[in-house]
Amino acid sequence: MDLSIIIPTFNERNNVKIIAEKITTLLQGSNSSFEIIFVDDSLDDTPVLLEELCQQYKEVKYIHRRNEKGLASAVVKGFLHSQGNQIIVMDADLQHPPELLPLMIKRLARYDVVIPSRFVAGGSDGGLNIVRKLISGVARGIGYIFIKKLRCISDSTSGYFGFKRSVIEQVQLNPIGWKILIEILVKGRYQTVHEIPYSFVARTAGTSKMNLNEQFNYLKHIGQLMMYHPEHRKFYYFCMIGTLGVFVNLSCLHFFLHFLGMEELTASVYASSIAMLHNFMWNHKVTWKECKQQTLWKQMMQFPQFVLICSLGIAITTLFTQAFLFLGWNIYAGQLTGIAVSILWNFSANSKWTWSATYSQINADKEKLIVTQELPSKENCMQVEF
Ligand SMILES: Nc1nc2c(ncn2[C@@H]2O[C@H](COP(=O)(O)OP(=O)(O)O)[C@@H](O)[C@H]2O)c(=O)[nH]1
Ligand SMILES: [Mg+2]
């Protein structure tokens, strides 16, 4: 089987017939064999219509789940029952134009993942109202900030996408909620992604099932995926240890000032030194635990290196604070900006020098992903290397 098209459905009685007809008309002339798998959780009579479609078209199959619900888990169920070498996921409500399918199939011969995108030149998300546009934009922004791999994908929350089966082979997919594409982009095995512009149109029949609960599920899903990649995990451990270090620092300062009666400057320097030692030990034991330096000399240099890098981090923060004061801006905003920049500096520099093996791993990952875009003029162009 060349292609499996997975369509999740929930109360889509007015759409299933139209989409099945459109897809079969579009693909029947092609040389590829295909199947359309509806994964249905409907409470209305959609399953009756799906049964009729199965009689009418040999390509149509459906799974009806009685005790389960949820878009992403329905799609995963579809993957498990599919046989195609290529897999395409799309909504039933015709907001994802089936007319794009022939081009997607053609591109899937060359690229591992193909994503019709609303946000590349020639695309549009006109089918969403202003509130949905805002929510969708914030959701994409959150993914962009917290998950590095999503940063070079313009439409990572899309429900319309295709990929080669090899991308998900031996990959454990456990999506929460709706956004199965981010799960595949984070966990899947692929090296090339191709984006095709398209216009997301408004629904003409049935209603949207998106709700507030799904927005919370999306945040949970992002949280889960953040910890999936070892490099992401390292960064969040680093931040958590740093936050704990602040409490250690303040508690020590209080102890030295009020219980030992130390002079302020001495108390502050001692408190910061203990916090630095605390951070170093935890980062060594947790964040970069698998990263052992080969020579004794390198091991001995780790702590001084860490102190030097963190001291430069403090200098960066001070620089920002001073710059903000000079410009007449708020000192707390300056301190916060400085802290954010110094966290990035501390993490990158310590990855690169103090626990250096990790850095080469990050670079190795970077070279692997190539994202290209379909352009109206040329066939496609190189867009970004991640
Ligand atoms: N199987 C299944 N499909 C669902 C579920 N929720 C939504 N869908 C389908 O997922 C697709 C996208 O849902 P839709 O309501 O159009 O979301 P929107 O496009 O973001 O407004 C449609 O084909 C829905 O029928 C669900 O719980 N189970
Ligand atoms: Mg829809």
DSSP, residue by residue, 223-263: HHHHTTSHHHHHHHHHHHHHHHHHHHHHHHHHHHHHTS---
> By percentage, how much of the chain surpasses pLDDT 70?
94
Q: Which atom of ligand 1 is nearest to the CA of 39?
A: 1
Higher pLDDT, 181 or 215: 181
CA 338 from chain centre, in angstroms, equals 27
3-class SS at 197? strand
Q: Tell me the pairing of strands 161-164 and 86-89.
A: antiparallel
pLDDT in tens, 167-176: 999 999 988 9
pLDDT for residue 331? 86
**CB within 8 Å of 53: residues ≥ 6 apart:** 16, 17, 20, 38, 60, 62
On average, the pLDDT of the chain sits at 89
Higher pLDDT, 103 or 383: 103
Sign of CA dihedral 152, 153, 154, 157: negative
Helical packing angle, 230-258 and 264-282, nearest 10°: 150
Buried b (16+ CB within 10 A) or exposed e, 279-294: bbebbbeebbeebebe
Q: Which residue ranges have their beta carbon within 6 Å of ligand 1? A: 8-10, 12, 39-41, 69-71, 74, 91-93, 95, 159, 208-210
What mean pLDDT do residues 217-225 have?
91
Could you tell me the distance, in angstroms and rounded to a whole number, from the CA of residue 33 to the centre of ligand 2?
27
Angle made by CA atoms 246, 252, 233, in degrees to the nearest 5: 30
Could you tell me the distance, in angstroms and rounded to a whole number, from the CA of residue 70 to the centre of ligand 2?
14
pLDDT range class, residue 257, cuts 50, 70, 90: very high
pLDDT for residue 386? 47
pLDDT range class, residue 335, cuts 50, 70, 90: confident
- For residue 69, which phi and psi values (nearest 5 degrees)? -145, 165
Buried b (16+ CB within 10 A) or exposed e, 161-196: bbbbeebbeeeebebbbbbbbbbbbbbbebebbbbb
Q: State the ligand closest to the CA atom of 210.
A: 1
Closest protein CA for atom 16 of ligand 1: 208
pLDDT exceeds 70 at position 380: no
Q: State the ligand closest to the CA atom of 6.
A: 1
What mean pLDDT do residues 282-293 have?
88
Partnered with residue 360 across adjacent β-strands are none
Q: State the ligand closest to the CA atom of 90.
A: 1
Q: State the ligand closest to the CA atom of 158.
A: 1
> By percentage, how much of the chain surpasses pLDDT 90?
59
Q: Tell me the best of 17, 62, 91 to mutate to test the pocket of ligand 1, counting ligand atoms within 8 Å of each CB and taking the most.
A: 91
pLDDT in tens, 306-330: 999 999 998 998 899 899 999 999 8
CA 2 from chain centre, in angstroms, equals 28
pLDDT range class, residue 38, cuts 50, 70, 90: very high
Stretch (H or E) spanning 163: strand 161-164
d(CA 32, CA 47) in angstroms, rounded, equals: 27
pLDDT range class, residue 197, cuts 50, 70, 90: very high
Among 119-123, 269-273, 295-299, where is mean pLDDT lowest? Answer: 295-299
Burial of 260 (0-12, 13-18, 19+ CB in 10 A): exposed
What mean pLDDT do residues 243-260 have?
92
Closest protein CA for atom 24 of ligand 1: 9
Taking the CB of residue 107, how many other CB atoms lie within 10 A of it? 22
pLDDT in tens, 346-379: 998 998 889 875 445 545 555 578 999 998 765 5
Closest protein CA for atom 14 of ligand 1: 208
Among 23-32, 114-123, 355-364, where is mean pLDDT lowest? Answer: 355-364
Closest protein CA for atom 20 of ligand 1: 210
Could you tell me the distance, in angstroms and rounded to a whole number, from the CA of residue 200 to the centre of ligand 1?
15
Alpha-carbon Rg of the chain, whole angstroms?
26
Closest protein CA for atom 5 of ligand 1: 71
Could you tell me the distance, in angstroms and rounded to a whole number, from the CA of residue 233 to the centre of ligand 2?
33
Helical packing angle, 230-258 and 357-366, nearest 10°: 140
Could you tell me the distance, in angstroms and rounded to a whole number, from the CA of residue 93 to the centre of ligand 1?
8
Q: Which atom of ligand 1 is nearest to the CA of 91?
A: 23
Q: Which atom of ligand 1 is nearest to the CA of 41?
A: 1
Could you tell me the distance, in angstroms and rounded to a whole number, from the CA of residue 92 to the centre of ligand 2?
7
